[in-house]
Structure 1
Amino acid sequence: MYLQHFGLAETPFSLTPNTGFFFGLAPHVEALQVLQTALQTGEGFIKVTGEVGTGKTLICRKLINELPKRFHCAYLPNPYLTPDELRWAVAAELGLKYSANIDQQQLTSLIQQQLMALSAHGHSIVLVLDEAQALPDESLEALRLFTNLETESRKLLQVVLFAQPELDERLSLKKFRQLRQRITFSYQLRPLTDDEAQAYLHHRLRVAGHQSGELFSARNSRYLAKSARGIPRLINILAHKALLVAFGEGAINIDRKHIKAAVIDTEDAEHSAKVFWPLIVVITVIISAILASQFWRGGTI
């Protein structure tokens, strides 16, 4: 709706984890470096945790897109699976063909054979699970048993877990001590600093086609970042709404009042001040402007 108004070619603050917008922020680069280093070792579990909206799925996709050719990746975006369902899913990702009446022991044997065949052809196999905090307890144990599959010199399967901090809480329990000891590399994503948030906003605007990327001043960027608690997803939501508000006003730069309106309209944002201009009023103004434009151009509604 506001793309032409701000000189943009695409929406800069979409919630879709588009790797085309990836920016080399310190926490994201460090997480990728940990993952890439860990994968080179060929052993154990690797874990990346972070609060909701800190960029785990974006890093996950970036990792998968940049894996060297020798890696064979099995990706499970929704691991809320029973142990049996987990084995079926892994088998499917490994390209296995099997009869419908196969039992779990036979399926596990086929998975091991496929892993050994891929390894013999020089492939390193990586199982990547996003939202891993959703794994049931029994499936976490089944996952651990997968990593028992090995040759004399190396593991046949590495497991990368992307998860919310709830997974760390579960792994701290005594019953998961065996799995906990298998995690050889771990990284915890942090929120962005004010300076990182400002650079993030400018980067996404430039990628989306804005000439300078400087719709948000340093002061307003800091205010937006604090309201979003440094969480990239919330930064995207607030920036998108602020652009909507400014567009409804006909403004070409984002002022503090535009961000305040976005903050008051976002439940999870930090509300530091009362705002008397709810976003619904702005949206009404925008819709009215569109309808009026259609009327004056002779369009039908």
Structure 2
Amino acid sequence: MYLRHFSLREAPFSITPDSAYFYAHDGAQAALNMLLVALRSGEGFLKIVGEVGCGKTVLCRQLLKTLQGECVTAYIPNPDMGPDDLLMALMQELGIEVSPRAGRRPAKRQAPSRYELLNTLRDCLLQHAQAGRAVVFCIDEAQAIPLATLESLRLLSNLETEKRKLLQLVLLGQPELDVKLSRPEIRQLLQRITFSEYLGPMAAHGVPAYLVHRLATAAVSDATDTQVFEPDAAQLLARLSGGVPGW
């Protein structure tokens, strides 16, 4: 009834992150521009930090969508795992098949060692580099990465040729990520991050256009009325939400 009444295909204000609803307000566009320029310049380690609900996941998906056909991409939405598991997840994202090695007994197979996994990953990355393809690895909710796994990411960033990085990493997380990166035991990782951007709340003046954008994206047709919110109502939403779309 709700959708029919407003001539909508789907709920326009669902909290599910969908790149179709990406709204390029000043902060989001600045963050996306930074990521695209840095990645296209070959930078190895990038970071986006923002509060809960400010649109980091939607930004990440928009980045992956923009890079489609231009780069090989890998995406991990839940990085709360050990170094070996994260490495395996990355390899799975890149379509790398990992075969168990033969054990001492003919019938027994063993998991590959980390050394073997890294060699297999490096071979794959070299093949992409030789074909002129950059490989971008995006990690969402990066504040959840254990310290040991963060250190393993630093080591992954060492994969390079004389001219370029074989793997470019993008971390997206809540402010707790900065707290974690400031710890002295992983200070070397912080030094590797060449570009960083803060994704903050939307400016109040941008909220009315954001509401129209969401309604237009969900509309059945161009004839759907997207001027649903009166100016006073839009400004009240901006004030009560603090400009955070996810609140």
Would you say same fold, with TM above 0.5? yes
Using the alignment, how far apart are the partners of 1:69 and 1:3 within structure 2?
Answer: 35
For 1:72, give the aligned amino acid: V
CA distance in 2, matches of 1:74, 1:184: 20
Which structure 2 segments of 5+ residues have no match? 101-109
Where 1:233 maps in the other structure, the secondary structure is: coil
Aligned to 2:115: 105
Match of 1:197 among 193, 196, 207: 207
Q: Which residue of 2 aligns with 1:175?
A: 185
- Aligned-partner SS, 1:181: helix
The residue correspondences of 1:204-219 to structure 2 (distance < 5 A) are 204-209=214-219, 211-219=224-232
Per the TM alignment, residue 194 of structure 1 is displaced from its structure 2 partner at its CA by: 1.4
Tell me the distance in 2 between the aligned counterparts of 1:120 and 1:17: 34
Superposed displacement of residue 22, structure 1? 2.0
For 1:110 and 1:7, the matched residues in 2 are separated by: 52
- Counterpart position of 1:155: 165
Higher relative contact order (CA 8 A, sep 6+): 2
- Specify every segment of 5 or more residues in structure 1 that has no aligned partner in the other structure, as ranges: 235-301
Write the deviation string for residues 263-282 of structure 1: whole angstroms up to 9, x where unpaired: xxxxxxxxxxxxxxxxxxxx
TM-score (norm 1): 0.75
| CA–CA distance in structure 1, aligned partners of residues 225 and 92 of structure 2 | 46
Tell me the CA shift for residue 10 of structure 1: 2.1
Query: Residue 49 of structure 1 contacts residue 164 of structure 1 at CA under 8 Å; is this kept in 2?
Result: yes
Q: How far does residue 68 in structure 1 lie from its aligned partner after superposition? A: 5.1
Higher helix share: 1
CA contact (8 A) 2:6 2:225 kept: no
Q: Distance in 2 between matches of 1:106 and 1:205?
A: 51
Q: Contact 1:70–1:122 at 8 Å: present in 2 too? A: no
1: CA distance between counterparts of 2:57 and 2:85?
Answer: 22
Match of 1:96 in 2: 96
Identity percentage of aligned residues: 44
RMSD after superposition: 1.4
Give the count of matched residue pairs. Answer: 234
What per-residue deviation string (whole Å, max 9, x for no partner) do you get for residues 1-56 of structure 1? 41122332321111111222222211111111000001012122111111111001
Q: Which of structures 1 and 2 has the bigger CA Rg?
A: 1
TM-score (norm 2): 0.90
